[in-house]
């Protein structure tokens, strides 16, 4: 009986891995070129039954986690990884730090939206905006990490900085549109909330990185 359970688990695992191969690039394409539509989709899917959720994309947190794992894998394969010291010199610690760092941005934007809409904070109310934010955090992570590698000695400083600036512009623009759609407010206020949410997350990530490097 236990053996059959193992076989069944392997069957489900293999199928899930193959599904990722198909739906990861589709989800990535949608997150880059149709981010707001995908974020609305994330909100709608949470109302479905567990088995029916995200049937034509990956689950947002899984999508973000796979993206960060692939980023690290590409760095190792191409020998582009930035040399780090101390705690982050270990690959597992570096991956864990990136997971936390790039999850903080969805978290801070989600909290800012709930505060702006005066919605009580709990696990259920936070989940909807957080899942939506995870979809666009993945291409943001790809752009920032690729640009950073370029600056550090990959494709060149000019290309690296250009990619970082383009990624930041895209990310803040999408956040501004997201706040405008959800708060029914003007462009200036939406842009201000996007900038504030971004810098709140950035400051926490920087402080966290400093503390970790000091360990």
Would you say residue 1 has pLDDT above 60?
Answer: no
Higher per-residue pLDDT: 171 or 156: 171
Where does the pLDDT of residue 185 fall: very low under 50, low under 70, confident under 90, or very high at 90 and above?
Answer: very high
pLDDT band at 79 (very low <50, low <70, confident <90, very high): low
CA angle 194/195/201 to nearest 5° reads: 95
User: Among residues 198, 130, 129, 203, which one has the least CA distance to residue 168?
Assistant: 198
Return the minimum-mean-pLDDT range out of 12-21, 22-31, 36-45. Answer: 12-21
When pLDDT is averaged across residues 146-156 and rounded to a whole number, the result is: 72
- Confidence at residue 156, expressed as pLDDT on a 0 to 100 scale: 66
Which pLDDT band holds residue 49 (cuts at 50, 70, 90)? confident
Q: Residue 196 burial by CB count (10 A; 0-12/13-18/19+): exposed, middle or buried? A: middle
Question: What pLDDT, in 10s, does the model give residues 104-138?
Answer: 999 999 999 999 999 999 999 999 999 999 999 99
Report the distance separating Cα 3 and Cα 50, nearest Å. Answer: 27
Q: Average model confidence (pLDDT) for the chain?
A: 88
Confidence of residue 14 (pLDDT cuts 50, 70, 90): confident
Angle at 155 between CA 151 and CA 156, to 5 degrees: 50
pLDDT-derived band of residue 78, with 50, 70 and 90 as boundaries?
low
What's the helix, strand, coil split of the chain in %, to 5?
85, 0, 15
- How far apart (Å, rounded) are the C-alpha atoms in residues 95 and 84? 12
Mean pLDDT of the region 60-65: 95
């Amino acid at each position: 009986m236990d053996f059959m359970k193992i076989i069944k688990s392997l069957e489900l695992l293999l199928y899930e891995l193959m599904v990722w191969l198909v739906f990861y690039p589709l989800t990535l394409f949608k997150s880059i070129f149709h981010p707001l539509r995908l974020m609305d989709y994330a909100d709608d899917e949470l109302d479905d039954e567990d088995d029916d959720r995200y049937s034509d994309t990956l689950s947002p947190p899984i999508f973000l986690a796979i993206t960060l794992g692939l980023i690290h894998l590409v760095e190792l394969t191409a020998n582009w990884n930035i040399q780090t010291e101390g705690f982050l010199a270990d690959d597992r610690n570096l991956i864990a730090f990136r997971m936390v760092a790039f999850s903080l941005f969805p978290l801070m934007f989600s909290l800012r939206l709930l505060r702006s809409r005066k919605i009580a904070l709990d696990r259920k109310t936070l989940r909807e905006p957080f899942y939506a934010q995870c979809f666009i955090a993945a291409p943001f992570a790809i752009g920032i990490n690729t640009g950073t590698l370029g600056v550090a000695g990959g494709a060149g400083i000019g290309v690296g900085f250009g990619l970082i600036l383009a990624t930041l512009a895209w990310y803040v623009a999408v956040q501004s549109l997201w706040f405008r759609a959800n708060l029914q407010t003007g462009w200036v206020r939406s842009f201000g909330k996007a900038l504030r949410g971004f810098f709140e997350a950035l400051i926490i990530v920087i402080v966290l990185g400093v503390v970790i490097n000091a360990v």
